[in-house]
């Protein structure tokens, strides 16, 4: 079953920045460092907790163009603090959305650049608003919440990119979702989520009963 729905709300996803590196800018000086990396991999299926998700090539191109290509670079999605950098260029390649960010000259930004260069900040996390999503729903008898190939899949066809953050997290972080979107996903996906929850509850009860001691007086 395929469907197209519109989703709203800011989500955060963290990916391993395997090609992230720091370099000196063309204007020289200690405060002129640049960060390069892949902000979002394309076509990579990840587990959000009860369904799979992947980003289609070019999903953020329109919103980046509308923003003039300049979007903030934050630390840990901290939008209450000043950004540590700003994007200078973006490129949609076959493997993902590549970006170059100019780091600010503040001590906080330069410390972030140093830790990234030392391999301590190895995650690039994006904050985005889903705009258009295509759903692939698996049949009930094929659905398996432990197997990415047998989960419902949300393909993010279009989204509004809001910011990119440096994080120490190297893996996809489904727990960093900032909006509960359950009311905006297809009913079939919600049914599978409830089924998974019930399965987990039943397994817990069976485990408890197996180890319980019944005393009759």
Cα–Cα distance, 140 to 159 (Å, whole number)? 29
Cα–Cα distance, 164 to 88 (Å, whole number)? 12
Contact 37, 17 (CB under 8 A): yes
Residues in the chain: 217
Residue 181 burial (CB count, 10 A): 16
What is the sign, positive or negative, of the torsion defined by CA atoms of 58, 64, 69, 73?
negative
Cα–Cα distance, 139 to 136 (Å, whole number)? 10
In the chain, domain spans: 2-210
Instruction: Give the N- to C-terminal CA distance of the chain in Å, as an integer.
Output: 56
Mean pLDDT on 161-167: 89
Q: List pLDDT tens digits, range 15-72.
A: 555 455 656 555 445 544 788 888 888 998 888 878 899 999 999 999 999 999 999 9
More confident residue, 172 or 166: 166
Cα–Cα distance, 83 to 166 (Å, whole number)? 11
Q: Is the pTM of this model over 0.85?
A: no
């Amino acid at each position: 079953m395929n469907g197209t729905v519109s989703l709203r709300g800011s989500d955060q996803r963290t990916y391993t920045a395997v090609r992230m590196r720091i370099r000196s800018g063309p204007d020289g000086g200690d405060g002129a460092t640049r960060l390069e990396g892949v902000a979002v991999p394309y076509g990579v299926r990840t587990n959000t907790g009860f369904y799979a998700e992947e980003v289609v090539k070019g999903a953020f191109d329109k919103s980046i163009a509308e923003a003039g290509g300049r979007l903030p670079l934050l630390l840990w999605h901290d939008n209450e603090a000043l950004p540590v950098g700003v994007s200078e260029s973006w490129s949609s390649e076959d493997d993902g959305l590549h970006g170059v960010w100019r780091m600010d000259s503040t001590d906080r930004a330069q410390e972030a650049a140093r830790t990234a260069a030392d391999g301590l900040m190895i995650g690039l996390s994006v904050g985005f608003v889903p705009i258009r999503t295509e759903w692939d729903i698996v049949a009930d008898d094929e659905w398996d919440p432990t197997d990415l190939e047998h989960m419902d899949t949300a393909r993010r066809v279009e989204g509004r990119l809001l910011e990119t953050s440096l994080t120490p997290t190297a893996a996809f972080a489904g727990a960093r979702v900032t909006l509960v979107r359950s009311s905006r996903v297809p009913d079939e996906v919600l049914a599978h989520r409830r089924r998974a929850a019930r399965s987990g509850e039943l397994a817990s009860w069976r485990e408890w009963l197996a180890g319980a001691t019944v005393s009759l007086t």
